[in-house]
Amino acid sequence: MKFKVNGDEIFASTGGRPFDKNKPLIIFVHGSGLTHMTWVLQTRYFAFHGYSVLALDLPGHGLSGGKSLKSIEDMADWINSVIDAVGYKEASLVGHSQGCLVTIECTARYPDKIKTLSLMGGAGAIPMNPELLALAENGDPKAVDLMMDWAHGPAGHFGGHPVPGLYHINTGGMLAKTRTIKDTLGVDFRACDNYKNGFEAAKKIKIPTLSILATDDKMCPVKEGKKLADLIEGSKVDIIDNCGHMMLLEEADRVLKVLKSFITTNYPTKN
């Protein structure tokens, strides 16, 4: 659906079900340069099982209007504006990669609004490889190729997509090329590189938190993810073998199973 946030027309997938204000809200925040489509194998389940779902396209990304936000802090405030814009007082947040930085910062800033936090391939900081950052800022398609290489584990490199007929690396690559690389990936990578407040923000988080990490994740390695999780009181960690950073697609069923159990327990539907 489309709606206005801070004057920009924003798109969010509602998971194939009409948006219903009477149901608890889950917001999904995508990674650098990507779109709502990375969440297709998680959102539809929740939408069909008692939740209202918003898988967002960040400003300037995917089908959303506006310009890409330049810092993680701005994106965190923007998520808060989204919750207000759809008329909710609270929400559950799910982030992937850069989306983890955004949701951690958002939770730290708006502790009363955020009820659970789920981090997929998250870390306290995501310093960028300077060459990759330069390629992205120059709009070089090679940045996307490199990101797809590094972001995928064996499933991405060999295949075995959970949806029959889809091929991981090329699908991911096309998502990252939906808009101008320089204006999406370039801006996002710089925002990740600049963000230093992750560990401090994590210390402030007191809500139920889940981290899903993957053994072959080169972008946010398990060690880094654990370092972050250790700072969040009582947080749960789930580690997936033989899987890379694009766990939402590479091991979609496993991610959904863990996420389902975590959210339905800690943020149940009314029935």
Partner 1 sequence: MSDKNKKGPESKTYKFDTLSLHAGYQPHKNAGSRQVPIYQTTSYLFDDVDHAAALFNLERGGHIYSRISNPTVGVLEERVASLEGGTAALATSSGMSAIFLTVMTLCEAGDHLVVSSQLYGGTVNLFRLTLPKFGIKCTFVKPRDTEGFKKAIQKNTKGIFGELVGNPGNELMNMPEVAKIAHDAGIPLIVDATYQTPYLCKPFEHGADIVVHSLTKWMAGHGSSMAGILVEGGNFDWMQNDKFPTMTKPYEGYHGLSFAEEFGPTAFTMKARAEGMRDFGPCLSPQNAWNVLQGIETLSVRMKKHCSNAEEMVKYLLNHESVAWVSHPSVPDHPDNALAKKLLPNGRGSMIAFGIKGGKDAGVAFINNVKLASHLANVGDTRTLVIHPASGTHSQMDEATLKFAGLSHDMIRLSVGIEDIDDIKNDFEVGFRAARKPRLVSNQ
Partner 2 sequence: MSKNPETIALHGGDYRSDPATTAVAVPLYRTTSYQFNDTGHAANLFALKEFGNIYTRIMNPTNDVLEKRVAALEGGLAALTVGSGQAASTFAIMNVCQSGDNFISSTDLYGGTVNLFTHTLKKLGIECRYADPADPKNFEKLIDEKTRCFYAETLPNPYLRVFPIKEVADIGRKHNIPLIMDNTASPVICKPLEHGAAVVVHSLTKFIGGHGTVIGGCLVDGGNFDWTADPKRQPLFNEPDMSYGGAKWGEVVPQLTGANVSFAIRARVCLLRDLGAPLAPDNAWGIIQGLETAPLRMKQHCSNAEKAVDFLKKHKNVDRVIYPTLHEGEIAARSKKYFKGGNGALVGIEVKGGVEAGKKFIESLKMFYHVANIGDARSLAIHPATTTHSQLTEEELLAAGVTPGYVRLSIGIEHPDDIIADLNQALNQSGKPNLKAVG
Name the pairing type of β-strands 114-120 and 209-214: parallel
Phi, psi of 63 (to 5 degrees): -100, 10
d(CA 55, CA 14): 7
CB under 8 A: which stretch of 97-105, 175-183, 189-197, 210-218 binds partner 1? 175-183
- Residue among 229, 242, 21, 204 nearest 118 (CA): 229
CB under 8 A: which stretch of 79-87, 114-122, 152-160, 194-202 binds partner 1? 152-160
Residue 178, interface with partner 2 (CB under 8 A)? Answer: no
Residue 177, interface with partner 1 (CB under 8 A)? Answer: yes
Among 194, 197, 264, 266, binds partner 2 (CB under 8 A): 264
- Residue among 121, 87, 11 nearest 55 (CA): 11
Q: x/- string (CB under 8 A) for partner 2, residues 212-251?
A: ----------------------------------------
Residue 170, interface with partner 1 (CB under 8 A)? Answer: yes
Helix (H), strand (E), coil (C) string for 91-121: EEEEEECHHHHHHHHHHHHCCCCEEEEEEEC
Please report, as a single letter, which amino acid is at residue 193: D
Residue placing its CB nearer to partner 1 in the complex, 6 or 138: 138
Residue 30, interface with partner 1 (CB under 8 A)? Answer: no
Residue 194, interface with partner 2 (CB under 8 A)? Answer: no
> Site residues for partner 2, window 108-167 (CB under 8 A)?
none
Q: How many CB atoms lie within 10 A of CB 21?
A: 9
CB under 8 A: which stretch of 54-62, 84-92, 223-231, 260-268 binds partner 2? 260-268
CB under 8 A: which stretch of 81-89, 90-98, 157-165, 199-207 binds partner 1? 157-165
Q: What six digits make up the tokens of 47?
A: 């939408």
Q: What six digits make up the tokens of 12?
A: 């969010």
Picked from partner 1, partner 2, none, the partner binding residue 236 (CB below 5 to 8 A depending on kind) is none
CB under 8 A: which stretch of 12-20, 99-107, 191-199, 259-267 binds partner 2? 259-267
Q: How far is CA 18 from CA 10, 44, 48, 141, 248, in A?
A: 16, 11, 10, 36, 23
Among 26, 37, 76, 201, binds partner 1 (CB under 8 A): 37
Among 260, 263, 266, 267, binds partner 2 (CB under 8 A): 260
Residue placing its CB nearer to partner 1 in the complex, 155 or 220: 155
Residue 164, interface with partner 1 (CB under 8 A)? Answer: yes
Residue 131, interface with partner 1 (CB under 8 A)? Answer: yes
d(CA 60, CA 58): 6
**Helix or strand run (H / E) with residue 249:** helix 247-250
Cβ within 8 Å of residue 217, ≥6 positions away = 121, 153, 225, 243, 244, 245, 247
Residue 261, interface with partner 1 (CB under 8 A)? Answer: no
Interface with partner 2 (CB under 8 A)? 260-261, 264
